[in-house]
Structure 1
C-alpha cells in the first residue's frame, strides 16, 4: 500500500485553505480545510499533524482519523476538525485516484444520479434581491438560500420581521423556492413571531433561527412551527448533533464537510440523521474541493436533500471575480441543469485542480479576517 510522502497546504483567495497529499508513487489527492477567518489557526493545526502523517499508509483513512481523534486527547471544535477535514478529504480523493473509481463508489455507490443545488442571494434593497434572484434563475437554479434581512440586521422589531416576510414573498413570486438564513440573528421572543408570520409563505427552511448555544430554545421553537428548522454549520461532530436528533428539534442538518471532519465524519453524521428521519443539506459556501466532496456525499446518502454551492458568490477581489470554478481545469463538471449537478465520472472527487494557479494565488493571499458587524448602539452583532 502506498505511503504518504508529503503534505502541503495553500491559502488562496478569496478565503479558502486547500490541502494536497502526495503518496510515494507520486499520486495525489486534494482536500479543503477552510474555516473562514481562522486560516492561521487551522494552518498551525495542520503543521502539527503533518509530521505524524508522513510515512503512514495512505489507504488507512479510518485508522488515521481515529489516531488523530483519540491520540490527540483534546479533540473536537472548529479548528481541529477543519484541519482533520482537509486531510480526510484529500485521502479519500487520493484513494479514489489510486483505485481508479469515484469516491461515491467507495461509499457504497450512488443512490441518485445527480444532486440538487442552491446558491445564496443577498441584497439590501428590494431591487437588489430581485436582481440576485433573477441571476440565479438564469444560472439554471430552482432554489436559493437567502439572507433573511438587510445586511446583518437583527430581527428585533415588527418592522424588520415584516421586511423579512416581504423578501421571501418577493423571491417566491419569481418562481424560486427559498430557504432563509438567519445566522442566529434573533432571540426566541421574535423567533416565535417570525415562524408564525412565515408559515403561510412556506420557506424551504429557516436556518439558524436561534443559535445552537440555546438547544432548549430551539427545541421549544420546533414544537411551535411547521416550518422545517435547519442548522449544523457550527456543529462539528456526531456528538455535537446527537442531542438535537434525540430531542427532535432539527429537521434538516447542515454539516459543512470542511469543518465537520471531512467525508468520514460527515458520512457518519448523515447516517445518524437517517435513523431520526432528518434530512442532510450540506453547508458549503466554500471552494471547489469542499463542494466536490459534498457532491460525493450527496450521491451516496439516502437522506440527502440539497447542497449549497458558491457559484458566482460575492467574492470580488483585486484579482477579479473568484468562485469555485476559478481553480478548476474541468469546470464543466459542475454545470447546472434544471437545478441539478450530475454525478462526476472522474476518479476520486472527479475534479482537476489548477495547481499552478493555486500556487500563484497562495503567494499573494493574506489571511482572511472575520467580518465585524455592529448595531446602531455599537453592540457587537452576529455575521
Structure 2
C-alpha cells in the first residue's frame, strides 16, 4: 500500500501558496491552499492537517481524508480551514490521477464537455480605461469580460457615483457590442441601498451577471435586490462549503454560484456544491483569480459539471504584477485560449506539469501580499 511520506509548502509571488505532497511509490501531487493575503495563516493550517491526519496514510482514500480533516477537529468551516483542506484535496486528486494514468475528470465520471469558455478581467481595482482594455481583449479573442463595478463606495452615496458606474459599463458595451458578455463585480463593496440602485441602473447595458452585490453575510438581502433587476445575480467566492450554500439555493434568488476550488474544500466539495446547484437550476462559474494549480482544479470539475458555463482565470489580472499563471508551468500551452475557450486538460492528475525548479526559485524571493485597506473620506474603513 502506498502512503504519504512527505510534503512541502512554497509561498510564491504574486500571492500564492503551493503544496507538494509525495508518496512512498514516488508520486507527487500539487495543490494550491491559500487565502489571498493570509498565506502564512493557511500554511500553518495545512501543516496541522498534514502532520495530524495525513502523513503515513494511504493517499487514495480522498473522501475519508476530507471528512477527517473537516469533522476531526470539532471546529469546522471558514476560509482558513476550508482553504487548507482544498489544497490538500487537490494534491490528493493529482496523485490519484497519476496513479491511474488518467485525468481527474475521468475519475469523476468523464467529461461532459471538451472545453469551457473563460472570461478576462479589465479595469483594475479602481476601474478605469475600461473601454480601451475591453477592445484589446476582444481583439485578443475573448468573448467575455469582467470588471469591477465601482471603487470604494459610501453606505449611501450620491447620484454621481451611480452615474460613474453606469457610464463605465456603457462605454464597455459600446466598445464591444452586443455579442460580448460583461460581468460586473460589486466585490462586496456595496451596501443594500446602493446595490438596489446600481443593479437597476446597470440593467439597460445587459451585464452577464452582477457579482457579490452584497457581502455574503447579507445574502438575506438578495431577494429584495433581485426585485430591482432581471440581470442574473452571482455570488459565492466567500462561501466555503455546501452548508454555506444551502440557504442560498433555498431562497431561489441567485442564478450563478462562484465557489473557489482553493477556498471551498477543493475538488471533492465543489463537485458536490455543483450538483446541489444543478438541482436548483443554478449555473456555476468557479472563482479563480489565483494560480495554475487552482485553475487546473477548476477545469477538472468544470469538465464534469453540466451546469458550469464559464470559468474565471487570472492571466494578466491586476494582482499579477510580478508573476503570472503560465510562469509556473513546464508547458504553458495547456492553458492556451482559443476563441474565448480553454480545452480541458487531459494529462494525468490535474493535467498540468508544475515547473518545480522555478517554484523553488520563486519561493526564495521576498514577497508578502496583502490587499489594501481603503478608507472613506471620514476616515472609516471601506470595503475593498
TM over 0.5: yes
Measured after TM superposition, the shift of residue 350 of structure 1 is: 0.9
The answer to whether structure 1 residue 379 and structure 2 residue 380 are counterparts is yes
Task: Extract unaligned runs of 5+ from structure 2.
Answer: none
1:39 maps to 39
- TM-score in terms of structure 2 length: 0.95
Paired residue for 2:23? 23
Give the drift of 1:127. Answer: 6.7
Q: Sort the Cα spacing of 1:315 and 1:226 in 2 relative to 1 into closer, same or farther, 3 A.
A: closer
Q: Tell me how far apart the structure 1 counterparts of residues 261 and 124 of structure 2 sit (CA, whole Å).
A: 27
1:63-78 matches, within 5 Å, as 63-78=64-79
Q: Deviations over 1:336-376 (max 9, x none)?
A: 11110012121111111111111111112433223211112
- Residue 287 of structure 1: aligned partner: 291
The answer to whether the Cα contact below 8 Å between 1:12 and 1:18 also exists between their aligned partners in 2 is yes
Q: State the shift of 1:123 in Å.
A: 4.6
CA distance in 1, matches of 2:238, 2:4: 31
Q: Which residue of 2 aligns with 1:246?
A: 250
C-alpha offsets along residues 162-193 of structure 1, whole Å, 9 cap, x if unaligned? Answer: 11111111112232310100112222222222
Gaps of 5+ in 1: none
2:100 is the counterpart of 1:99: yes
CA-to-aligned-CA distance 1:97-147 (integer Å, 9 cap, x gap): 110011110111111110110121115898721232133223321101101
- Which is worse superposed, 219-228 or 291-300? 219-228
> 2:327 maps to which residue?
326
Q: Which residue of 1 aligns with 2:174?
A: 173
The match for 1:229 is: 233
In the TM superposition, what are the counterparts of 1:5-154 in structure 2 within 5 Å? 5-51=5-51, 52-123=53-124, 128-149=129-150, 151-154=151-154
Whether 1:364 and 2:365 are equivalent positions in the alignment is yes
Contact 1:118 1:309 in 2 (8 A): yes
CA distance in 2, matches of 1:259, 1:2: 28
Task: Tell me, in whole angstroms, the C-alpha distance in 2 between the residues paired with 1:315 and 1:138.
Answer: 22
- Mapped to 1, the partners of 2:379 and 2:40 lie a distance apart of 28
Moved more, 181-190 or 11-20: 181-190
Q: 1:16 to 1:199 in 2, by over 3 A?
A: same
Of residues 76-85 and 132-141 in structure 1, the stretch that sits farther from structure 2 once superposed is 132-141
Q: Work out the CA distance in 2 between the residues paired with 1:287 and 1:224.
A: 36
Corresponding residue of 2:161: 160
Structure 1, 282-291 or 211-220: larger mean CA deviation: 211-220
In 1, Cα distance between equivalents of 2:195 and 2:278: 27
Shift of 1:263: 0.3
Query: CA separation of 1:336/1:108 partners in 2, compared to 1, >3 Å: closer, same or farther?
Result: same
Q: Higher mean Cα deviation, 158-167 or 121-130?
A: 121-130
How many residues were matched structurally? Answer: 379
Match of 2:129, SS state, is: helix
Shift of 1:225: 2.0
Match in the other structure for 1:271: 275
Residue 217 of structure 1 pairs with residue 221 of structure 2? yes
Tell me the equivalent position of 1:305. Answer: 309
SS of the residue corresponding to residue 55 of structure 1 reads: coil
Query: Which range moves more in the overlay, 122-131 or 135-144?
Result: 122-131
Query: Is 1:196 aligned to 2:200, yes or no?
Result: yes
1:229-257 deviation line (CA, Å, top 9, x unaligned): 10101000000010010011211000011
With 274-283 and 164-173 compared, the bigger mean Cα shift is at: 164-173
